[in-house]
Structure 1
Amino acid sequence: MSALPSLPRKTWIAACSHRLQRQWPSIDPDQLEELADTLWQDQRLRLLEPTDAAVEWLQPVLADQPKAAARSAAPGQVEHAAVGQPGDDR
């Protein structure tokens, strides 16, 4: 099994940010792009496809959602969650 070729940083961040926007449509897209950039800096996540990295990071948040919300996830995607939400000042 060979490693997938890396996407350019800007492309990876844009795709990851888009997936985060699906989770939090009311959050400022610039904040989500900053978050995606932070996720890109994690080598383990960067090796994943950007949407998979977002889902992996979101695992704790998605696990806390009601079952109905999890069923509305895109087909074929395992929903995961995040530690905190963008904009939380905890």
Structure 2
Amino acid sequence: MATIQQISPDVAPPSTGRYVLMRLGDGDALERQGESFVYTISRKMPGNLFEAHLQRMISDAELLADQERIDVVFVTFDPQSGR
């Protein structure tokens, strides 16, 4: 199972190794960047819906990491507050 690590939005993930990166944005998206993946999560939802959506996306990122044999999921925001 992948490890979830919180990093600052200003810090780039390590250039070596594969990872799943989660960030906030204006819409939902999943992109492949080389051997890694980037999830963008829309912050344009009411608070209660956003929290549920955020938890679902984190779960999806963990599943993707497991399927792709990736060891780490980087989260660039506080999953507890969504900011």
With normalisation by structure 2, the TM-score equals 0.27
Bigger strand fraction: 2
Largest Rg, 1 or 2: 1
- Bigger helix fraction: 1
Higher RCO (CA-CA < 8 Å; seq separation 6+): 2
TM-score (norm 1): 0.26
